Structure 1
Amino acid sequence: MQQSAIIVAGGSGSRMKSDVPKQFLPVGGLPILMHTLRAFRRYSPELALYLVLPESQFGTWQVLCQQYGFDEKYLLVAGGETRFHSVQNGLRQIQAPEGLVAVHDSVRPFVTSTLIAAGFRQAAAEGTSVACVPLKDSVRRVAPDGHNQAVDRAAYRLIQTPQIFRLDWMRQAFRSEYLPHFTDCASVLEQAGYPIHLTEGTYENIKITTAEDLLWAEVLLKST
């Protein structure tokens, strides 16, 4: 069964307080996005890899590839207005009639081959696989009026990527109109009526969003 992966890179860097899009910021002397692409290429040299970037960032990315001698094989795809539309654009480039497709955040560079493989195995068996981790902290639900109440953290999970699905299910789900609550692919598949199966992620599989995350990423890189 053919396996594909769509790496979605749409960050601007605003929460980093940086003029540089966060996927281009360096960790360990290499842009975050390059670490992420190499993680998937380590998993499989045969994986069909699609990088979705805002078209306005193509030139910057090409300059970085030349600067760092980055020559991994992938297909570059223009992003859309939202993450939903960017994934749609990536899906349109996949020519295989069937198979499995992973969608992964460009700024989660510490995804492991073990996690990717486990996700593809589960998606092959059950149709969907969404990486997640249990909450470590206590959780309270806050109502619009400010009233808050403790909830059982064991009943919740923090969702990560990769999120991996049957290709035919993905294509069907992404034919729908965009809705504001489509924050990830799992929410799109769920809206279309497909079951969402969770798989165990890792706490190291962080999404680099803030300046503090960059510091933590440098520590993680040194420990691997």
Structure 2
Amino acid sequence: MNVPIILAGGVGSRMGADRPKQFIEIFGKPILVYTIEIFQNHPEIDAIEVVCVKSHVDYLNELVKKYNLDKVKWITPGGKEFQDSVINGINNLRGVLSDDDIVLFQYGASPFTSDDIITDAIRVCEEKGNSSPAIKSLFLLGSNEGDKSINWIDRDKVIIHNTPQCFKFSYVTQLYDEAIEKGFIDKVEPHTTSLMYLMGREIYLSKGNQMNFKITTKDDLDLFKGFVLMKNQEKNMMD
């Protein structure tokens, strides 16, 4: 089985909205629904778990029914922090998934992900045991010393990670069990990939693109509105 764990447990405080950013509506539909639909419509996805901010679990159940998201089999309450939500999602699937099943971590506010990114992430994970979509930076990079920069960073030596990050279920359960045992959970930025770096794990890279990013700011909302309009226009031209 290939099962996305869609992480929608955060409150999105940086957006300054009156609701968690994944529930902000674009043309009458919450961002989270757009994200879920990507996986709902992908032929290689068997079932979906959503880790949801506790205050919106009932609302999410209503959305699942309204938009016929029948691949959503589990809705799990989120935790206090990002890693707590990831752990909740993993633990809810223990005893359900087998060791060789694949889980795909996807941010609930990442509705730009494309079918080919998901397909390639699964392919690499099947071969290597884990994968992360990644791209090279197209921008000039420099160090950050507050109000100035004094060192150039070679952009050919860095990559930009995004989602869905994929793992064989046995791999990710062992990863988090070890991280909890060694007290690593709170020592890194809130990403599974940053935890892997701390623990000396290799991350295998799959296909990414510049459009596959998480909505974080109000400007990102405007970009997504344009993206939705473009996709709807393309669909109308094909019909």
TM-score normalized with structure 2 length: 0.85
**Partner Cα separation in structure 2 for residue 157 and residue 194 of structure 1:** 16
Partners of 1:19 and 1:64 in 2: CA distance: 19
* Aligned residue identity for 1:70: Y
Provide the C-alpha distance between the structure 1 equivalents of 2:31 and 2:97, rounded to a whole number of angstroms: 29
What residue ranges of structure 2 are gaps of 5+ in the alignment? 232-239
Corresponding residue for residue 96 of structure 1: 97
Change (3 A) 1:191 1:151: closer
Name the residue aligned to 1:187. 194
Give the alignment partner of residue 209 of structure 2, picking from 166, 188, 202.
202
Question: Structure 1 or 2: larger helix share?
Answer: 2
* Mapping 1:41-52, distance limit 5 Å: 41-44=40-43, 47-52=46-51
Please name the residue that 1:71 is paired with: 68
Counterpart CA distance in 2 for 1:29 and 1:147 is: 43
Alpha-carbon distance, 1:10 to partner: 2.5
Query: What does residue range 205-220 of structure 1 map to in structure 2 within 5 Å?
Result: 205-220=212-227
* CA–CA separation in structure 1 for the residues paired with 2:24 and 2:48: 21
Cα 1:190–1:198 change in 2 (3 A) is same
- Partner Cα distance (1:8, 1:205) in 2: 16
d(CA) in 2 for partners of 1:144, 1:218: 33
Per-residue deviation, residues 113-132 of structure 1 (Å, max 9, x unmatched): 11101000000001111112
C-alpha contact (below 8 Å) 2:10/2:82 kept by paired residues: no
1:18-50 Cα deviation digits (max 9, x unpaired) = 111100011233100000001011113752210
CA RMSD of aligned residues (A): 2.0
Give the TM-score, by structure 1 length.
0.90
Q: Secondary structure at the match of 1:89?
A: helix
Once the two structures are TM-superposed, the CA of residue 54 in structure 1 deviates from its matched residue by 1.8
| Residue aligning to 1:174 | 176
In structure 1, the gaps of 5 or more residues are none
1:84: Cα distance to partner?
1.0
Contact 2:33 2:63 in 1 (8 A): no
Displacement of 1:202 in angstroms is 1.5
More strand by share: 1
- For residue 110 of structure 2, what is the aligned residue in structure 1? 108
How far 1:70 moved relative to its partner? 2.2
* Partner SS state of residue 143, structure 2: strand
Q: Is 1:3 matched up with 2:5?
A: no
Residues 147 and 189 of structure 1: CA distance in aligned 2, closer, same or farther (over 3 Å) = closer
Alignment size in residue pairs: 221
CA contact (8 A) 1:6 1:49 kept: yes
When residues 139 and 45 of structure 1 are mapped into structure 2, their CA distance, relative to the original with a 3 A threshold, is: closer
Q: What is the Cα deviation at residue 14 of structure 1?
A: 2.2
Alignment check: 8 A CA contact 1:13 1:19 kept: no
